[in-house]
Structure 1
Amino acid sequence: MRVELVSVGTELLLGDIVNTNAQYLSKELASLGIEVFNQSTVGDNPKRLLECFDEALKRSDMVITTGGLGPTKDDLTKEMAAEYFGQEMVLHEESWKYIEERCRRFSPGKPVPPNNKKQAYFPKEATVIKNNNGTAPGAIFEKDGKRIIVMPGPPREMKAMFEESIRPYLMQFTDSMLVSRVMRLYGIGESALEIAIEDILDSQTNPTVALYAKEAEVTIRITAKAKNEEEAKVMLDEKSAEIREIVGKYVYAEGDSSIMDGESALEYSVAELLVKRGKTIAAAESCTGGLVAAQLINYPGISEVFVEGCVTYTNEAKVRRLGVSQDTLDKYGAVSEQTAREMAEGIRREAGSDIGVATTGIAGPGGGTDEKPVGLVYTAVCVDGETFVRENHFSGDRRKVRNRATRQVLSDLRMILEGIEI
């Protein structure tokens, strides 16, 4: 089954609305093992809609549209689908009754707008799909083995209709499904990862393995084609174990594809570890300016273990609040391994926590020297009296340096908590 997606709406072409529908449908169809051959966006123009349908159905078996099902004159998607198949539009009484009831429920005492009746017209040959979240029903048009499925444009309505009606309908066209799992890694670059798992990448058939570079981390997507989820899970487990055997120390999260998009996975992983193990933590920050504390606080329930965070930006604050030695600052400077160590140990001591973490560095754009350039950041983790300090050399602007420093100290903390050699 080869499918094309057509997003209808001039507002999409103008950039007034971000097209999230195509992304959602592509993922859902892929999970069913249905190939999405092409995606198109077309304005509210009858001639161009007909041309789009004609071109798409010459290449593919089915077109799925979103948008253009409203009550106004420029909403023409189902009208053009009917015209393309040479089918006459008639009033679908059941849909009209539902639309009337819905309009009266949301606007009691007011007459039903007459143009809403337009939404209840469909060919007799079409299968009308009820919209439980709006006034625009969907429909399935079919002729000579070709199909056009029309769905509403608002994502909330479209997604519900797809889950309730369209997905079950599409199941008849596939005897397999695609199930994906994502592994997120920190501490290894895309090139190094590719080399490390080169044999797996070169020999892959099913499941397939793909790498994606994100800012300061890499993700691996494993996709299995199977008859059912249980069979796919076995295949994914086997491939995941194979990858972990090689680069498992860098994997901080693994799950469905939704974790690929989230920026909070690392701090959630660390915070979850802290809460599960009952390890209290405090943070002393200089160049990150509170980002480490802010990331941890994103996790619900972190109050069980997070004691406090201090932004000790000046040398005076480091001495007064953390007990950093003035001699250390005079001899090595604020941006040094020695200062980072004393910051982590000082915040742990002053807060009475099990763990102390610290950051100190030069985020830029100014302040760097030949000896200590912009991007030099020391991160430190003190756990139960033992302190690990890392010297980092980050590239990028001020925001990137601060963000990468934050993620680095969290990554080191995760590995220490899990007993992984850094």
Structure 2
Amino acid sequence: MTVEIISVGTEILLGNIVNTNAAYLSRQCAALGLSCYYQVVVGDNEARMAETMKTAIDRSDVVICSGGLGPTEDDMTKEVACSVMGERLVEDAETHRLIEMYMGRFVRSHRGYQITENNWKQAMVPEHGIVLKNDNGTAPGLIIDKNQKIIVLLPGPPSEMKPLFDQQVFPYLQRKQSEVIYSTTLKIVGSGESYVEMSIRDLIDTQTNPTIATYAKTGEVHLRLTAKAENEKKAKELITPVRLELEKRFETQIYTEDEEETLEMALVRLLYDHNLTVTTAESCTGGAIAARIVNVSGASSVFRQGYITYANEAKQNMIGVKGETLTRYGAVSEQTAREMSEGAACTAGCDCALSVTGIAGPTGGTKEKPVGLVYIGCTCRGKTSVKELHFSGNRGKIREQTVVTALAFLRECILNSL
């Protein structure tokens, strides 16, 4: 079956809120084996909304709308959907009772507030629709299943939409499907997208089921393997030989096969598994590497402290970089990166240390040391390695690339030391 996702709300069009609902629904639909070819955002306008829904229902089997189920005048998704599907609205007694209970609690805790007439608008439902109880708000979810077409109406707030979809819509649509789609992702660091794609060109050219798709991220490449089968077990069986072949080709460059695991999460896990501690010494990234590490729950078991040594005096006073080194080679040099890393490891008493020094721009570059030149140093169990890199882009992009590359370099050095 094909699915189309419609996100309702002028605030989305204006950029006042980020449309996270569409991304979430896309992932869930893919897991259901639904093919999504279109995503649309439409504002709170009756005529445009009706046109959007008619187009969607003509070209898709399932249409999922989020937003526009509230009590105000510009909340018209339900009314438009009923018009498009030829349904009339009737009051649902159970929904009326639940709204009364929900709003009653609100009134009791907000002195002077009263239930207004427009709140009962949310108790009006399609006459032949399926009402989905909303435990987190007053607007129920709704399903209109008619003439071999399905429209699903969900509230806009993610805290309401996600539980409704997970617990009630997902199982409903799953029963309509004769097959499932299963996906897994291999996350790779240390190679660019073009290199990765060329390395698997033979697999891509002959793929049928499963398929391989490459996605470029900053400093990473993600490979998504997707298989379609009558059940999840058989889909996994189809994926297994391809996954094993990719693991053989990329080996330790694959840092995780967990969709939710980030590079820093994998790094903290690696440090913890081998009882290692780490510190950082940062110049051009100004603490961004340490921030990525400590963003991981449990990082305190492996991360001791970090040093932001932006000025030369800080490099000397905090982690023992020699003044002679700075004078002779400069702050942005292989020698300084090496001393930063070794000094940080010694000062913090850690097994590993990561240092970065570079020119993020847009000023400060020279012919010999242009903007984008970065040195990354890594000390691991007494051995120090330094990498010279040349990044392009604006200041933010250069710093972002430096952070990811540094984390990947630390991971590589740890693995080489084991």
Q: Secondary structure at the match of 1:99?
A: helix
Of 185, 189, 194, which residue of structure 2 is paired with 1:191? 194
**How far off its partner does 1:331 sit?**
3.5
RMSD of aligned Cα (Å): 2.5
| Separation in structure 1 between the aligned mates of residue 336 and residue 282 of structure 2, nearest angstrom | 11
Is the CA contact 1:249–1:420 (under 8 Å) kept in the aligned structure 2?
no
Quote the Cα distance in structure 1 between the aligned partners of 2:217 and 2:310. Answer: 30
Paired residue secondary structure (1:56): helix
Match of 1:262 in 2: none
Structure 2 residue matching 1:418: 3-state secondary structure: helix
* Among candidates 333, 353, 372, match of residue 375 of structure 1: 372
Q: Distance in 2 between matches of 1:409 and 1:415?
A: 10
Residue identity in the other structure for 1:197: I
Post-superposition shift, 1:48? Answer: 3.4
Look up the match of 1:244.
247
- Aligned residue runs from structure 1 range 7-406, under 5 A: 7-108=7-108, 111-256=114-259, 258-259=260-261, 265-406=262-403
Question: TM-score under structure 1 normalisation?
Answer: 0.89
TM superposition shift of 1:316: 4.0
- Distance in 2 between residues matched to 1:404 and 1:12, nearest whole Å: 30
Amino acid at match of 1:28: Q
User: Any idea what SS the aligned residue of 1:255 has?
Assistant: coil
Q: Separation in 2 of the partners of 1:142 and 1:324? A: 70
Paired letter, 2:254: V
CA contact (8 A) 1:196 1:247 kept: no
- Conserved 8 A contact 2:144-2:150: yes
Q: How far is 1:210 from its partner?
A: 0.8
Tell me the CA shift for residue 420 of structure 1.
8.0
The count of residues paired between Structure 1 and Structure 2 equals 415
- Describe the shift of the 1:306–1:18 C-alpha distance in structure 2 as closer, same or farther (beyond 3 A): closer
- Provide, for residues 253-300 of structure 1, a one-character-per-residue CA deviation record: whole Å limited to 9, x for no partner: 3212x45xxxxx222222222222221223233333333333322223
Letter in 2 for 1:10: T
8 Å contact kept, 1:2–1:37: yes
Matches of 2:146 and 2:279, distance apart in 1: 66
Alignment identity in percent? 47
- CA gap of 1:389–1:8, structure 2 versus 1, over 3 A, is closer
CA distance in 2 between counterparts of 1:21 and 1:286 reads 38
- Letter of the aligned partner of 2:275 in structure 1? G
Report deviation, 1:97: 1.4
Unaligned runs of 5+ in 1: 260-264
Candidates 372, 383, 405, aligned match of 1:408:
405
Structure 1: how far apart are the matches of 2:18 and 2:318?
48
Q: TM-score, normalised by structure 2?
A: 0.90
Distance of aligned partners of 1:249 and 1:72 in 2 relative to their CA distance in 1, 3 Å threshold: same
- 2:381 and 2:417 in contact (8 A); partners too: no
SS at match of 1:107: helix
Aligned mates of 2:314, 2:41 — CA distance in 1: 57
C-alpha offsets along residues 97-153 of structure 1, whole Å, 9 cap, x if unaligned? 111111112212864322222222234322222222111122222333233222222
- Name the SS for the 1:410 alignment partner: helix
Letter in 2 for 1:146: K
CA–CA distance in structure 1, aligned partners of residues 126 and 353 of structure 2: 69
Name the CA shift for 1:229/1:147 in 2 (closer, same or farther; >3 Å). closer
The answer on whether the counterparts of 2:6 and 2:65 sit within 8 Å (CA) in structure 1 is yes
For the residue of structure 1 that corresponds to 2:416, the secondary structure is coil
Q: Provide Cα deviations, 1:356-396, integer angstroms capped at 9, x if missing partner.
A: 32222222223322222222222111222211111112222
Contact 1:307 1:353 in 2 (8 A): yes
